[in-house]
């Protein structure tokens, strides 16, 4: 089995695939809070519990690990876990790894590993040009040319960060559940905040995608990330929601780096 781990600033997503050459479908997936204080031993215990749900174990069933991480301390802990408990080094998506995709960023080392994994996964699933919108701690937009090249994109504060800033700066505004309200014109303070957050953010996404399409031409537009299922369906420009796109890209990168 292959473990694919995407460690973001807020959440870590873990996916389990069949061994390379087997089915490309996820066997299972789990989402946990990212905690930079966790040691490699604690991560091993956590992942072993997840594997145990299917009757799998470190020793007998896991033959590879692929990792993308934007948190250096978590990266180090995951590397330590792999080497100690699995007995081999993980494939870490970092500069020098084979992705099969030309990176046309001015400084390719600046591109987040999750953004590259998203682009690789998107190009495997859909015809370019492609725009990938990842709703995470930050919301990122990544553009792939009609030649399959990673061009760059845009980064802005994620919807939860934006709402946290609103609540911390406006003393009388309550924290609300992030869900679609009954109407665009809110009849209560809660609905007004939900309308601004949900419809305002989705309109912003549509506006930025359309500006990118002026440069790229007509694109296939994908949404991924923890909030893709909430915001994606309300965006007129988003055509596909791929919640596990990063894990899919990691699986492909892993296979491209095998002997």
3-state SS of the chain is CEEEEEECCCEEEEEEECCCCCCCCEEEEEEEECCCCCCHHHHHHHHHHHHHCCCCCHHHHCCEEEEEECCHHHHHHHHHHHHHHHCCCCEECCCCCCCCCCECCCCHHHCCHHHHHHHHHHHHHCCCCEEEEEECCEEEEEEECCCCCEEEEEEEECHHHHHHHHHHHCCCCCCCCCCCCCCCCCCCHHHHHHHHHHHHHHHHHHHHHHHHHHHHCCCEEEEECCCHHHHHHHCCCCCEECCCHHHHHHHHHHHHCCC
Architecture of the 108-248 domain? 2-Layer Sandwich (3.30)
132 phi, psi to nearest 5 deg: -110, 125
Q: What is the pLDDT of residue 100?
A: 95
- Give the pair of three-digit tokens for residue 38: 């966790």
Residue 140, beta-bridge partner list = 134, 155
| Alpha carbons 154 and 188: distance in angstroms, whole number | 33
Q: pLDDT category, 5, cuts 50, 70, 90? A: very high
Q: pLDDT category, 20, cuts 50, 70, 90? A: low
CB-side neighbour CA atoms (13 Å) of 199: 13
pLDDT, tens digit, 9 for 90 and up, residues 125-176 = 999 999 999 999 999 999 999 999 999 999 999 999 999 999 888 888 888 9
Catalytic residues: 114
Given a contact cutoff of 8 angstroms between Cβ atoms, the answer to whether 229 and 209 are in contact is: no
Stretch 197-219: mean pLDDT, rounded?
96
| Alpha carbons 49 and 56: distance in angstroms, whole number | 9
pTM of the model: 0.93
Percent of the chain residues past pLDDT 90, beyond the cut: 80
Residue 42, beta-bridge partner list = none
Q: Where in the chain is the domain with CATH 3.30.420.40?
A: 2-92, 108-248
Class of domain 2-92: alpha beta
């Amino acid at each position: 089995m292959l473990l694919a781990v995407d460690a973001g600033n807020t959440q870590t997503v873990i996916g389990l695939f069949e061994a390379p050459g087997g089915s490309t479908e996820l066997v299972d997936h789990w989402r946990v809070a990212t905690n930079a204080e966790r040691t490699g031993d604690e991560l091993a215990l956590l992942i072993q519990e997840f594997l145990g749900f299917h009757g799998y174990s470190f020793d007998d069933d896991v033959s590879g690990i692929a990792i993308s991480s934007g948190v250096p301390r978590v990266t180090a802990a995951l590397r330590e876990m792999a080497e100690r408990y699995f007995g081999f080094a993980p494939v870490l998506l970092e500069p020098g790894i084979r992705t099969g995709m030309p990176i046309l960023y001015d400084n390719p080392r600046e591109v987040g590993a999750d953004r590259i994994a998203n682009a690789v996964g998107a190009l495997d699933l859909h015809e370019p040009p492609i725009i990938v919108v990842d709703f995470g701690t930050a919301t990122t937009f990544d553009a792939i040319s009609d030649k399959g090249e990673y061009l760059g994109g845009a980064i802005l504060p994620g919807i939860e960060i934006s709402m946290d800033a609103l609540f911390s700066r406006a003393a009388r505004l309550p924290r609300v559940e992030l869900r679609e309200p009954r109407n665009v014109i809110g009849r209560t303070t809660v609905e007004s905040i939900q309308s601004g957050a949900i419809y305002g953010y989705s309109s912003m996404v549509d506006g930025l995608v359309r500006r990118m399409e002026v440069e790229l031409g007509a694109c296939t537009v994908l949404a991924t990330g923890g909030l893709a299922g909430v915001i994606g369906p309300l965006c007129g420009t988003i055509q596909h929601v791929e919640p596990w796109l990063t894990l899919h890209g990691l699986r492909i990168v892993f296979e491209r780096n095998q002997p």
